[in-house]
């Protein structure tokens, strides 16, 4: 279930400059004193250090490094992105959960977050390793009013959002994007993005953007350890996952607003190209119609990758079933 009263109480005492009275919480949130008291007790049991002073109220002194719907919602300053959070300790796939919520009529901007996935998936049906307590697994439900052929650009907006958050929090790390949907740190993958859509030829029912971010892992399976890393391995310290989730939602909401006005990614080409690790490098395009090589130049206003071919001509690659690889490896 989406968290509401607990998140609201936590947000009020988190944002209060001093003690917040129980009556003030009751009046503002429209709940009883008993309901507030129960929420405070629940939060204290979860590790929140909340001071309760008679005739003054409640004050948050410190909080635990935990992942929960209440914690996420209490720290968000967005208008719609993540304002309803559906949190699971364990689920098969947050993308599948978000698609189910979409069919049930849940709101634009609803966010599914899990501490662990048992059937996570990446692009082109690949499995996504999803251990508990270490990474971010989240899926954002969108109900756009633009045409289906624009939906693929949302993947690029999310990639920029993740890259900007990581770059802002850890300016000492080298952050890149591998077109179209991987975010890299120190030239190894820390984030994958999977965008799925339900649509008619000229109408979108919903879009789900799934994001997996390697945050606190200390090791990886042998088959991916050469190409994957985590923020903890790069930064050297345990990292607050909620801080990253909140940052991504805030960036994405801002970028999404610009995108829906423009109808393309023209305002973001310079940002994306600035992160693009493929730019200026020779790449191999794995097209089902036939592989070819060229030099990646950057993206165009539609988010397509521009490839300069050996004969001097140029072509564009749209995301989908086409993959781009470095000539000598992952990048």
% of the chain residues with pLDDT over 70: 93
* Confidence tier at 3 by pLDDT (50, 70, 90): low
* Confidence tier at 1 by pLDDT (50, 70, 90): very low
Judged by phi (left if over 0) then psi (alpha if -120 to 50, else beta), residue 75 lies in alpha
- Residue 321: is its pLDDT beyond 90? no
Domain 5-62 grouped into CATH 1.10.10.10: yes
Nearest to 173 by CA among 160, 183, 161, 181: 183
CA dihedral 260, 266, 268, 272 (to 10 degrees): 130
- Residue 12: is its pLDDT beyond 70? yes
289 three-state secondary structure: coil
pLDDT, position 324 = 81
CA dihedral 102, 242, 90, 199 (to 10 degrees): 20
Average pLDDT, the chain: 92
Task: Read off the pTM.
Answer: 0.92
CB 65 within 8 A of CB 240: yes
The residues, any chain, with a CB within 8 Å of residue 81's CB and separated by 6 or more, are 109, 111, 140, 249, 250, 252, 253, 256
Average pLDDT over residues 110-139: 77
pLDDT, position 198 = 96
CATH 1.10.10.10 boundaries in the chain? 5-62
CATH 2.30.30.100 boundaries in the chain? 278-326
pLDDT, position 133 = 86
pLDDT by residue (tens digit) across 226-283?
Answer: 899 999 999 999 999 999 999 999 999 999 999 999 999 999 999 999 999 999 999 9
CB 230 within 8 A of CB 244: no
* Confidence tier at 123 by pLDDT (50, 70, 90): very low
Residue 196 bridge partners (DSSP): 208
Selected residue with higher pLDDT from 225 and 25:
25
CA dihedral 309, 314, 317, 318 (to 10 degrees): 180
pLDDT by residue (tens digit) across 25-61?
Answer: 999 999 999 999 999 999 999 999 999 999 899 999 9
Selected residue with higher pLDDT from 84 and 328:
84
Average pLDDT over residues 124-147: 82
pLDDT, position 223 = 81
- Residue 306: is its pLDDT beyond 50? yes
CATH of domain 278-326: 2.30.30.100
pLDDT, position 2 = 44
Q: Which fold has domain 69-274?
A: BirA Bifunctional Protein; domain 2 (3.30.930)
pLDDT, position 120 = 61
Q: Can the peptide bond before residue 111 be classed as cis, meaning omega within 30 degrees of 0?
A: no
pLDDT by residue (tens digit) across 283-292?
Answer: 999 888 889 9
pLDDT by residue (tens digit) across 152-194?
Answer: 999 999 999 999 999 999 999 999 999 998 999 999 999 999 9
Alpha carbons 248 and 238: distance in angstroms, whole number: 19
First to last CA, the chain: 40
Alpha carbons 157 and 252: distance in angstroms, whole number: 7
DSSP string, 89-155: SSBS-HHHHHHHHHHTTPPTT-EEEES-BSS-B-GGG-B----TTTSEEEEEEE---S-GGGTTHHH
CATH 3.30.930.10 boundaries in the chain? 69-274
pLDDT, position 270 = 97
């Amino acid at each position: 279930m989406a968290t509401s009263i607990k998140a609201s109480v936590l947000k009020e005492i988190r944002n209060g400059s001093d003690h917040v009275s129980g009556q003030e919480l009751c009046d503002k949130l429209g709940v009883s004193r008993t309901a507030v008291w129960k929420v405070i007790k629940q939060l204290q049991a979860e590790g929140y250090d909340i001071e309760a002073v008679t005739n003054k109220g409640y004050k948050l002194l410190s909080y635990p490094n935990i992942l929960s719907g209440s914690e996420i919602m209490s720290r968000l300053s967005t208008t719609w992105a993540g304002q309803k959070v559906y949190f699971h300790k364990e689920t098969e796939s947050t993308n599948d959960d978000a698609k189910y919520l979409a069919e049930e009529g849940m709101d634009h901007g609803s966010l599914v977050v899990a501490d662990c996935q048992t059937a996570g998936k990446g692009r082109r049906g690949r499995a996504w390793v999803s251990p508990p307590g270490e990474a971010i697994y989240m899926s954002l439900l969108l109900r756009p009013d633009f045409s289906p052929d624009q939906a693929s650009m949302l993947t690029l907006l999310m990639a920029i959002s993740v890259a900007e958050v990581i770059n802002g929090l850890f300016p000492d790390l080298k952050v890149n994007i591998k077109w179209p949907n991987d975010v890299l740190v120190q030239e190894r993958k820390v984030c994958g993005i999977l965008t799925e859509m339900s649509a008619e030829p000229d109408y979108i029912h919903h879009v789900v953007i799934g994001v997996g971010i390697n945050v606190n892992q200390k090791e990886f399976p042998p088959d991916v350890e050469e190409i994957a890393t985590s923020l903890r391995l790069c930064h050297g310290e345990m990292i607050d996952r909620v801080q990253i989730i909140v940052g991504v939602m805030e960036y994405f909401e801002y970028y999404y607003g610009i995108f829906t006005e423009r109808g393309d990614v023209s305002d973001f080409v310079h940002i994306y190209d600035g992160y693009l690790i493929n730019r200026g490098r020779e790449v191999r395009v794995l097209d089902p119609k036939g592989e070819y090589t060229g030099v990646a130049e950057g993206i165009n206003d539609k988010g397509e990758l521009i490839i300069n071919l050996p004969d001097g001509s140029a072509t564009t690659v749209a995301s989908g079933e086409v993959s781009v690889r470095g000539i000598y490896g992952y990048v």
